[in-house]
Structure formats: structure tokens, C-alpha cells
Structure 1
């Protein structure tokens, strides 16, 4: 399926779910689908948990504080994909060196993301929305980039089906903001469908030379302060 990549336009209509009915409908859909998927994928969740415990030991899950709606922190859940391996100096090895073969497989197949369905059921995440990044990035955003927190973050999003981690930070933010300005339920359904295709193709999982993507260092002069 051909997918036209669109950029953010500050003059686009205000599509963000900004009234109670829209938010309620999106929330009901999120909860219903996530709950059903948790039941369907429960054997896979158990098998992955058992595999991690067998080959990597405990803990099974990776938990990290991430910024949610309006930048409020929540605990994001993933399956653990790396070991805590240290240099002789006592410093933690880079992500690329700590990523295990099992962890690499889980990332390539996006199985490491399955526990985030629990975050959706809890209301921390939506199925679709800008991906929640690191808390340390919050002070680095421009005024426009910070608008990505005007909505509940998601497991997948417009940026994920248009390059995922294999695009620049600048492009990723453009796509996030385009989604916010043009949101509608049909767009969410389209993103969910295309996400399935991306997962099957294992496309854009990481940038070359990185376990996932290079760190965000701040906005460029293109963005408004």
C-alpha cells in the first residue's frame, strides 16, 4: 500500500481530540483494542517472559519514566532487551554492546513493545500518538516541538509508519506535529494498519550504528523557540 508522507503545516485544521466526546471515543477504542490484544497475545507474552528469564535472567521487564500527556511522567513498560554489562572502569557499556541476540530479535519483531498494551489499558498511552521519548529531552524542545505533548503519547504514530527510527529527529517531529494537527479516527485506523505492515517488514527498527537511534541534542534554527 502506497503511503504519502506529509509534513506538518501550522495552518492545518485543528484536528487534535480537543473535546470530551472525541477524547472519550478515542479512549474507549484504545481500551477495548488493547484489552482484546492482551488476551490474544497472552501466550506470546508468557513465552517471551519465559525466554528472557531463561537466557537473560531477571528482571524480565524494562521500566522507565517517560513524559506523557502535558509532559506528566508515567512508567513505560517493555520487555528487557539488554544486559547490564560494565567496562573494567566501572562504566556501563553502550547500548549497542549490551543488546543481546534475543533482545535484538525482540526489537526487530517489535515484541519488546507488547507490555505497553498495559500502559494503554491504564490510560498512560494511546494506541496511536507521538512516541513518548526521554524525560531528559523535555528542556531541549522548541516551542513547536513541545506541542507533541498536547496529546496522549502512543505505542505507534505517524512518524513510526514513515521511517520509524531511520529518519532524522527533525523529520520525526514534523510528522508528530502533522498528526496532531490532522487527527481523526480514520487516520488512527490507517496508522494501526500500516504499523502492522511495518512490523512484518521489520523496517526502520534502528539507525545504522545505533541500538535504536542517536540521542536528541536539541532543536535547530528552523524551529521557533
Structure 2
């Protein structure tokens, strides 16, 4: 399924370590400012931690800046996402600043700069044989699906882009995806689906 090129076997991970390490240093002032704003506007904890499946279905803790409040109803249950997502949280998502802590995941080896986005653990049991192939590689901070619609395309389209990516990984493709990602972030395209503040839940449809 995956062509074991020199880039795939050695260079991709090497670049992940170097680039994520440099980014963590260079962007440290941004981390500090965002962390202070999140603590002030949304409270603690500043970092949202969620378990996600990575390469070979290995579970890891993914880190993001929190974008929602902990508002609950009278029964103590969390309110729907659209009621907990503040304007500040929307700004963090639209600029992808909430994703910055994932650079630590990349540096550690849980993730890659480019690859299929890490989804929920509960989806592992309902993937088709083709969809599960997305876990043959490390999940990415960005990916082919993200530059072709992000949260505004269907699940079928996302999975097809993921499969297309793992079948054609190359340095040039990764560079292209990174630059297209920067463009998408700048124009704030594809942040939400048509019916959700982020993306609809995947229910196993083919």
C-alpha cells in the first residue's frame, strides 16, 4: 500500500522533528499569549487533551488549546457544542491557533506535519477495510483532505483523500499541502460543515 521510499522511511520523520522543534521555539511567544487569553476567557485547563488513534491504531494524547466553555444544563450535562463555542473559540479555530500544541505531538512522534487528521477512537470499530488504511501512517497536523475542503466536505471524500495521500506520499506533495494549508488558513475556508460548528459525527456510512 505504501511505497517505502527514502523520504517515507527516513526523511519525513527527520523533517518532522527539525521543523516542529524550530516551530516550538519560534512560536513560544505566541503560545504564551494564546495560553493567557484562553485562561482569561475560557478558564482552566488551558490545554484540551483527547485520546486519538495514530499510526497502527496506537492511542496517544492529542493536545490542543481549548475553544469551548464548560457550561452545563440544570442536570449537569454539557451544553451542545454550538452553545459552548464562544466567539473567541471560533477565532482560535478559524486561524488554527488551537492546533498549535499539536506541534509537541509531532516532535514526540505521535503525529506528522502532513498526514490524515487524527479522528475519534470510537470510529475504529466502524471503518471499512479501505478507511482503516488511513492508520498506516502517522496522523497529520494537516492533510490532503484539509486542503480540499477541510470540514466542509463529506466523510466519503475525506477518506478518499486520505487513501490517495498514503498511496502517493512524497516530499513535493507534502510541501504542496503545507503551502495550500497556509492559504486555507489565511482565507478561513472550510472551518465548519453546513450543519455543524465543526464536523458531523461519523456513523459508519460507506
With 45-54 and 17-26 compared, the bigger mean Cα shift is at 17-26
Q: Give the counterpart of 1:197 among 171, 177, 183.
A: 183
Aligned to 1:106: 92
Aligned to 2:83: 97
CA distance in structure 1 between the partners assigned to 2:173 and 2:165 by the alignment: 8
Q: Give the counterpart of 1:134 among 109, 120, 139.
A: 120
Aligned to 1:6: none
Give CA-to-partner distance per residue, 1:168-194, whole Å, 9 cap, x none.
000000000000111111100110111
Output the TM-score relative to the length of structure 2.
0.96
After the TM superposition, which segments of 4 or more aligned residues of structure 1 sit over 6 Å from their partners? none
**Unaligned runs of at least 5 residues, structure 2:** none
Q: Give the counterpart of 2:195 among 170, 194, 209.
A: 209
RMSD of Structure 2 on Structure 1 (CA): 1.3
Greater helix fraction, Structure 1 or Structure 2: 2
2:7 is the counterpart of 1:37: no
The alpha-carbon distance between structure 1 residues 50 and 17, as it changes in their structure 2 partners (threshold 3 A), is farther
Q: How many residues align?
A: 206
Asked whether the 8 Å contact 1:82–1:103 carries over to 2, the reply is: yes
Asked whether the 8 Å contact 2:8–2:169 carries over to 1, the reply is: no
Aligned to 1:11: none
CA distance in structure 2 between the partners assigned to 1:17 and 1:31 by the alignment: 21
CA distance in structure 1 between the partners assigned to 2:163 and 2:8 by the alignment: 18
Q: Which has the higher contact order (CA 8 A, sep 6+)?
A: 1
Aligned to 2:63: 77
**Unaligned runs of at least 5 residues, structure 1:** 1-13, 221-225
CA-CA distance at 1:20 after TM superposition = 7.0
Q: Give the counterpart of 1:46 among 10, 32, 41.
A: 32
CA-CA distance at 1:86 after TM superposition = 1.1
2:103 is the counterpart of 1:117: yes
CA distance in structure 1 between the partners assigned to 2:195 and 2:6 by the alignment: 44
Aligned to 2:163: 177
